C-alpha cells in the first residue's frame, strides 16, 4: 500500500510537471497559430487595399490622359467633329459629302485640317447612310435602280463610293415596277405626254433609266 501511495504521488508530480511544461507550450502554439492567422488576414487586407488603390490610380490616370489629350485638340477641330456627326448620323451624308460640307464657304467653313480630323474620328456607317439615301430616292422620288445608283455616286449628287452605292442598291426595299408606273403617271398628268413618249422617257439614259420591262409595265397599267 505504501508503495502504491508513493507511486500515485510520483504520477501526480509527473502530471503537474507535464502540465506546467507542455500545457503552456500547447497554449503558446495555439496563440502562435492565431497570431499567424491574424497576420495573414492583415496581409490579405493590405494587399486588397493596395490593389484597390492601384486600380483607382490607373482609372484616374486613364481619365487624366484622356482629358489631357482632349485639351490638346483645338476647339475648331472638336466643333468640326460635332458637325460631322450631325451630317453623318442625321442627314445620312457620305464621307466625301460631309468633308465638302465642312470645308465649303457656304457650309461649315472649317480648315482642311479640322475637316480631315472630323472625318477621321466621326463614328458613321457609310453603307447604312447610302442605303438610307437610296430608300428616300425610291420612296419619295420614285427613281429607278440605275437612277438611284448614279445619284448616289455622282460628284454632283451624294458622292458615295461605288461599293457603298452598290450595297444600297442590293439592300434597298423597292418595287421598281411601281416606281416606273408612278413616274409614267406624273408625265401623263403634268406634261400630257403620250404613252409612246412616256415609254421613251422612262428607258432613256438621259431620262429615268428604267429597264424596258419596267417601262412596259408602267405603260400597260396607265389609267
27, burial (CB in 10 Å: exposed 0-12, middle 13-18, buried 19+): exposed
Residue 216 neighbours by CB under 8 Å, 6+ apart = 199
218, burial (CB in 10 Å: exposed 0-12, middle 13-18, buried 19+): buried
pLDDT tens, position by position, 44-59: 554 555 555 555 555 5
Average pLDDT, the chain: 82
- Residue 62's pLDDT band (cuts 50, 70, 90): low
Ordered domains of the chain (ranges, CATH): 61-124 (1.10.10.10), 125-174 (1.10.10.10), 175-223 (1.10.10.10)
pLDDT at 61: 58
**Which is more confidently placed, 44 or 71?**
71
What is the reported pTM? Answer: 0.70
Looking at the predicted structure, is the pLDDT value of residue 9 above 50?
no
Looking at the predicted structure, is the pLDDT value of residue 125 above 60?
yes
Note whether 161 and 169 are within 8 A (CB): no
Give the number of other CB atoms < 10 A from CB of residue 95: 18
**Which is more confidently placed, 194 or 13?**
194
Q: Which residue has the cell 496563440?
A: 31
Looking at the predicted structure, is the pLDDT value of residue 150 above 70?
yes
pLDDT at 55: 53
How confident is the model over 96-123, as a mean pLDDT? 98
- Residue 1's pLDDT band (cuts 50, 70, 90): very low
pLDDT tens, position by position, 161-197: 999 999 999 999 999 999 999 999 999 999 999 999 9
**Which is more confidently placed, 109 or 50?**
109
**Which is more confidently placed, 30 or 94?**
94
Note whether 199 and 215 are within 8 A (CB): yes
pLDDT at 71: 72
Note whether 125 and 168 are within 8 A (CB): no
Looking at the predicted structure, is the pLDDT value of residue 36 above 80?
no
pLDDT at 14: 38
Q: Rounded to whole angstroms, how far apart are CA atoms 74 and 115?
A: 12
Amino acid at each position: 500500500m505504501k508503495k502504491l501511495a508513493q507511486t500515485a504521488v510520483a504520477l501526480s508530480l509527473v502530471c503537474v510537471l507535464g502540465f506546467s511544461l507542455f500545457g503552456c507550450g500547447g497554449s503558446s502554439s495555439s496563440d502562435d497559430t492565431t497570431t499567424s492567422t491574424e497576420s495573414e488576414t492583415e496581409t490579405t487586407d493590405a494587399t486588397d487595399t493596395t490593389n484597390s488603390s492601384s486600380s483607382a490610380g490607373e482609372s484616374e490616370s486613364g481619365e487624366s490622359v484622356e482629358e489631357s489629350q482632349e485639351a490638346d485638340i483645338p476647339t475648331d477641330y472638336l466643333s468640326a467633329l460635332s458637325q460631322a456627326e450631325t451630317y453623318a448620323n442625321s442627314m445620312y451624308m457620305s464621307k466625301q459629302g460631309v468633308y465638302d460640307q465642312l470645308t465649303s464657304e457656304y457650309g461649315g467653313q472649317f480648315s482642311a485640317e479640322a475637316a480631315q480630323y472630323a472625318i477621321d474620328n466621326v463614328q458613321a456607317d457609310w453603307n447604312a447612310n447610302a442605303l438610307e439615301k437610296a430608300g428616300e430616292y425610291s420612296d419619295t422620288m420614285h427613281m429607278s435602280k440605275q437612277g438611284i445608283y448614279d445619284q448616289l455616286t455622282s460628284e454632283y449628287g451624294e458622292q458615295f463610293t461605288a461599293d457603298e452605292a452598290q450595297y444600297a442598291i442590293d439592300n434597298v426595299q423597292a418595287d421598281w415596277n411601281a416606281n416606273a408606273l408612278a413616274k409614267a403617271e406624273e408625265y401623263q398628268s403634268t406634261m400630257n405626254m403620250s404613252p409612246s413618249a412616256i415609254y421613251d422617257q422612262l428607258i432613256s439614259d438621259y431620262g429615268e433609266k428604267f429597264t424596258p420591262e419596267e417601262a412596259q409595265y408602267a405603260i400597260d397599267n396607265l389609267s
